[in-house]
Structure 1
Amino acid sequence: MANMAHHTASAAPQPSAGGEKFNGEGNTTAPLVIVTLLFFMWGLITSLNDVLIPHLKAIYTLSYVQAMMVQFCFFGAYFIVSLPAGALIRRIGYQKGAVAGLLIAASGCALFYPAASSGYGLFLFAFFVLASGITVLQVAANPYVTVLGPARTASSRLNLTQAFNSLGTTIGPAVGGALILAAVGAVADAASVRGPYLALAGALALLAVLFLAAKLPQIADGDDVPLAGEGQGSAWAHRHLVLGAIGIFLYVGAEVSIGSFLVNFLGEAQIAGLAHADAARYVSIYWGGAMVGRFIGFLVMRAVSPGKALAFNSLLAIALVLTAMLGKGPIAMWAILSVGLCNSIMFPTIFSMALHGLGKHTGQGSGILCMAIVGGAVVPFAQGALADSLGVQASFLLPAACYAFILYFGVKYARMYAAQ
């Protein structure tokens, strides 16, 4: 099972016989740079939410549940838009699909300008439009990573782009803290989001032009060889896919929820008592841990099975979250920030474990897993309800429970394929 990343990469779309001839050995540097920029941009945009949530909460005097509507609208787009995005890309192609995603995301960023003077409702709509564009972008851009070069190095390219995605999530909170939170000081002001998000809209529009002009291969869905004894009727017949979808739902939910509450958690008197602008810098450490962990995981997982690595990271994440819940001061603060390091390998590992051996149902399985990202909408919303009733610190019991299921999935997976 050490080669599962390669196995999954081979199940990805392959160059189409009807398009530009592409054997993976040509000059792919420029297209790969452009695709990597896409991963960086949507990482940065996603983590900016962690800065905007406490900012909007203060401006509009929201409860935690109301503030978490940001993530509900943002990640809810994954659930609603994933299937239409797939249909759109089948109709217009992967390259034009990525361009469409970039332009939709740019429109969402531009909506932040009128939202600053119109109220919280338009902000939520802007988040939904922005996330819809990112969803289309992900469905379109991910396959390019596997075909932009030799198949034997597909997993290393995927790790590279994921690392740049993590770089975006690391930089995002620091940039947002400096441009949005520090700019307003003690006075909450919605207008501070206008400049940064107009700049993002311009950057996304420029990327759309670059992507449209780039010479990229035409790609089409390929087949894979199913595991012996697996169901043949539908991806839903594969138990490990269903468990993996639940795992993705809970993992994304836990990761996003922790990030969403960090600024408020670090502002608690018994934890660090930090101002929002100061706390935002520490959010970058949380997301930066995922970036560092991906490089470590890339090396470690050459020798350790995916299931065991996932189980170990989940167990450590549970211990750290419980420490943050029950502790105080620097111990609680650094415990919750360290969870980012544990998160690093979880998404790609769960994703590849769930898709393993699906054969002709790989495309359907991938769509199901993308829809499961809606956990990023539901779990923060639920933790918001807990924070309103029990307090922010106690509400972290929910992410701990999410990691408990991922621990179960990792252990079950390690046993399931131990003989293979």
Structure 2
Amino acid sequence: MHPQAAPITAGGRLRNKVPLLPLALIVSLFFLWGVANNLNDVLVAQFKKTFTLSDFQAALVQSAFYLGYFVVALPAGAYMRRYGYKSAVVLGLCLYGAGALLFWPAAVFATYGMFLAALFVIACGLAFLETSANPYVTLLGPASSAAARLNLAQAFNPLGSIAGVLIGQQFIFDGVTHTPAELAAMSAGAREAFMKSEAAAVQLPYLIIGLAVIFWAVVIVLTRFPSVGVREEGVPLERGVLRRLLRDGRLLGAVAAQFFYVGAQVAIFSHMIRYAEATLPGTADKSAAGFVTAGLVCFMVGRFAGAALMKRLKASRVLAWFALINVLLMAMAALAPGREGVYALVASSFFMSVMYPTIFALGVEGRSDDERKFGAALLVMSIVGGAVLTAVMGVVSDRVGIAHAMLVPALCFVAIFLFAQQAWQRAPARVPA
């Protein structure tokens, strides 16, 4: 039996009733895209081993993935406005599931390019989900509890991230890593068998993920959701909104800060396994993945701690201090490789936790509905920083070593600190993390 649609205000928001089943289904999306995002950290290490890649080539996993966000974010915003939030969510899930299912033929042919294409399709789906799910959660209930609902939804994202790493650690990694000399000593047949075996390790996990995501899309299609969205309200698109946003210094500053933040986060998590293997001799990939899990736990704890701090301090002040601390932690990782450096990378996750939602909220606060939607799309586009800066870090690592490559995210956190300093000088803003 479908839940009845709740009463809607003229602004497209529920008056007083929270539709629990629709809300639970949308909140689950935060978990699902967390799984996909952090499984990539495992894939970087897995494909480096499978295809004997350089650090730069392995980083193309993240480049292909986050390029999808950049390409699709604005079309997702336009689609959402035309066809509604629910339709955008369903399309996003279908793309996510299709990309995951493409891992099976990619593994059969053991072709790195096919894996990158599958990741691009997944990312296109996630761009739809991230662009639509955040504002949709705020509309599924009264305005007075919108922040609480969004905060609850965001808490499921690091849980999904932890699940993604654990899936990779338990079902993809086998703990077997051959040195270049050992691979060179193998016969051509033995090397090919090893490569196909390692490529096949991703088939079953991604098959299950793909089928589960498509099943979730079907459940959402069959569930009655409240009618919310600009199209139903009959509000025409404000002319020149994109042109105006592209001249808005505050929004452009947030877009730049988000570019550097996502680049830093993805680069750190993508190379954490590699860093641990390189600086802690004898550490296998399966064991090194444990540091990524620890970092994600710190990330989740940091999100709640940051939210508590923002009840007392400006969000921009918390952002500035957390960015500065991470500059110091990245310097430690670069200058003190080994156990201290690994611990610094894990600890940095705590201070990264509040950055994405805080930058996002500081960029769109106080805007009209159309400005908020398309501003959100521009901020999602800035996720391409994960593609660009992870590849840059791979190049630096190939030339000067993985430890000194940690200076790349250090510079990113400097940029975030400068943005936070500018925001600090404006009116107080307490932003839920």
Q: Same fold (TM over 0.5)?
A: yes
1:405 to 399, 402, 415: 415
User: Greater shift after overlay, 44-53 or 186-195?
Assistant: 186-195
The equivalent residue for 2:190 is none
Secondary structure in 2 matching 1:129:
helix
Q: How does 1:6-405 map to 2 (within 5 A)?
A: 17=10, 23-118=14-109, 119-182=111-174, 189-221=198-230, 234-268=244-278, 270-271=279-280, 273-359=282-368, 361-405=371-415
Following TM superposition, by how much is the alpha carbon of 1:411 offset from its aligned partner in structure 2, in angstroms?
1.2
The percentage of counterpart residues that share the same residue type is 37
CA distance in 2, matches of 1:239, 1:406: 15
Tell me the distance in 1 between the aligned counterparts of 2:44 and 2:275: 13
Task: Structure 2: give runs of 5+ residues left out of the alignment.
Answer: 1-6, 179-193, 234-240
Q: CA deviation at 1:357?
A: 2.6
Deviates more, 1:176-185 or 1:192-201: 176-185
Which residue number in structure 1 is paired with residue 189 of structure 2? none
Mapped partners of 2:151, 2:11: distance in 1: 29
Q: Which residue of 1 aligns with 2:236?
A: none
Relative to 1, partners in 2 of residues 1:40 and 1:127: Cα closer, same or farther, differing over 3 Å?
Answer: same
Work out the CA distance in 1 between the residues paired with 2:261 and 2:404: 19
Amino acid at match of 1:416: R
Cα deviation, residue 281, structure 1: 1.8
Question: What is the one-letter code of the residue matched to 1:122?
Answer: M
Query: 2 CA distance for matches of 1:324 and 1:183?
Result: 25
Please report how far the alpha carbon of residue 16 of structure 1 lies from its aligned counterpart in structure 2 after TM superposition.
7.1
Deviation at 1:78, TM superposition (A): 0.7
Aligned-pair distance for 1:95? 0.7
What are the superposed Cα offsets for residues 220-260 of structure 1, whole Å, 9 maximum, x if unpaired? 249xxxxxxxx996112321111110000000000000000
> Does the aligned pair in 1 maintain the 2:250–2:363 contact within 8 Å?
yes
Please say if residues 34 and 158 of structure 2, whose CA atoms lie closer than 8 Å, have aligned partners that are also in contact.
yes
Which amino acid is 1:213 matched to? L
Q: Conserved in 2, the CA contact under 8 Å of 1:35 and 1:141? A: yes
Aligned letter for 1:54?
A
* Closer/same/farther in 2, CA of residues 121 and 242 from structure 1, 3 Å limit: same
Structure 1 length as normaliser, TM-score?
0.90
* Aligned amino acid, residue 286 of structure 1: G
Q: Deviations over 1:15-51 (max 9, x none)?
A: 57598xx634224221121111111010011100000
Q: Where in structure 1 do 4 or more consecutive aligned residues deviate above 3 Å?
A: 14-19, 183-188, 270-273
Q: Mean Cα displacement is larger for which, 287-296 or 126-135?
A: 287-296
CA gap of 1:149–1:16, structure 2 versus 1, over 3 A, is closer
Kindly provide the amino acid, as one letter, of the partner of residue 153 in structure 1: S
Following the alignment from structure 2 to structure 1, what is the Cα–Cα distance between the partners of residues 277 and 15?
50
1:219 Cα deviation from its structure 2 partner: 1.9
Deviation at 1:140, TM superposition (A): 2.2
Gaps of 5+ in 1: 1-13, 223-230
Shift in alpha-carbon separation, 1:18–1:324, aligned structure 2, 3 A:
closer
- Within 2, Cα distance between the matches of 1:345 and 1:133? 24
Q: Deviations over 1:338-358 (max 9, x none)?
A: 110001110111111111233
Q: Deviations over 1:347-402 (max 9, x none)?
A: 11111111123335222211211111111110101001101111111001010000
Whether the 8 Å CA contact 2:45–2:285 is kept in 1: the answer is yes
Distance change in 2, residues 1:323/1:271 (3 Å): farther
Distance 1:306 1:18 in 2: 28
In 1: Cα distance, 2:28 partner to 2:393 partner: 32
Report the alpha carbon displacement of residue 172 of structure 1 after superposing the two structures with TM.
1.2
SS in 1 for 2:141: coil
Change (3 A) 1:128 1:101: same
Letter in 2 for 1:374: V
**Alpha-carbon distance in structure 1 between the residues aligned to 2:22 and 2:400:** 49
> 2:185 — aligned with what?
none
2:18–2:142 Cα contact (<8 Å) kept: no
How far the C-alpha of 1:416 sits from its partner, in A, is 2.3
State how many pairs are aligned: 397
Q: Measure, in 1, the Cα distance between the counterparts of 2:301 and 2:280.
A: 25
Contact 2:77 2:373 in 1 (8 A): no
